[in-house]
Homo-oligomer: A and B are copies of this chain.
């Protein structure tokens, strides 16, 4: 049944598209979606025009949602040009019409009590963290932000991060901006210094896995926003699953689009992604 928080399908309009470092930042007038969006949710865009040869929607975290944009409710996304779909998006003229479904997935869970939080973003993975930071701060949380990427061009949101977080730390693999190395090379020090009680992370799966392992060692929960290939984004196709241990201890191939996209990193069987872990519900029956 459609409810006030149900996703909508809207014919949106591209309000602006600009390059930011290696990424593209796109604002889309999408009334209804903007009003419903919460940090950690995503939208799914149809690509290719009509008739398209690319049937599957592309999923993007909501970077910003403004209920009162000049053109009505507006959402913003940040994306990397990866393949044919994002290439097409990157060439869309302003005022193009785009078919957009959202908001999809669950918002990031927000702690009931004010905690010291660390928000870690890898590459464009920082996109959903700025609106999260805002919410966390209104709930009295301390927000530390840590952004990493291979190069400075692939860091997204330095200015936004300064505004959104109490403190912003940057790291690049080539050392061109901020510290040199990977996020995990500096995590120990950062967590100690800021006495992190809760992590939110979004970025490449390898990074999320490393953070999860690390956080678990120090008994700090880490909410990870994962990216598994999605055909539908709305929970009907079963392509987007990951092996995840439920509260009941049972491992299930769990749809990341509707049960996620963010999960407690400790529940994901990172090592076994790409296989069916033994003990997974229904695994023994697989032909």
Binding site for B on A (CB under 8 A): 48-54, 84, 88, 93
Contacts and interface: CB of A to CB of B under 8 A. Distances in A.
Contacts of A93: 93
**Of listed A51, A52, A84, residue having the most chain B CB within 10 A:** A51
B51 A51 contact: no
Nearest to A51: B53
Interface of A is mostly: loop
12 contacts: A48-B49, A48-B51, A48-B53, A49-B49, A49-B88, A50-B84, A51-B53, A51-B54, A51-B84, A52-B53, A53-B53, A93-B93
Contacts of A51: 48, 53-54, 84
Nearest to A55: B53
A55 to B, nearest CB: 10
Contacts of A49: 48-49, 88
Contacts of A54: 51
A17 to B, nearest CB: 15
A96 to B, nearest CB: 10
A95 to B, nearest CB: 11
A123 B280 CA distance: 67
A257 to B, nearest CB: 25
A69 to B, nearest CB: 25
A115 to B, nearest CB: 47
Closest 7 interchain pairs by CB?
A: A53-B53, A51-B53, A51-B84, A49-B49, A52-B53, A93-B93, A51-B54
Nearest to A93: B93
A99 to B, nearest CB: 16
A100 to B, nearest CB: 20
A84 to B, nearest CB: 6
A53 B53 CA distance: 5
Nearest to A85: B51
Contacts of A88: 49
A50 B53 CA distance: 9
Given A49-B88, A52-B53, 10 more contacts: A48-B49, A48-B51, A48-B53, A49-B49, A50-B84, A51-B53, A51-B54, A51-B84, A53-B53, A93-B93
A164 to B, nearest CB: 37
A53 B52 CA distance: 6
A84 B50 CA distance: 8
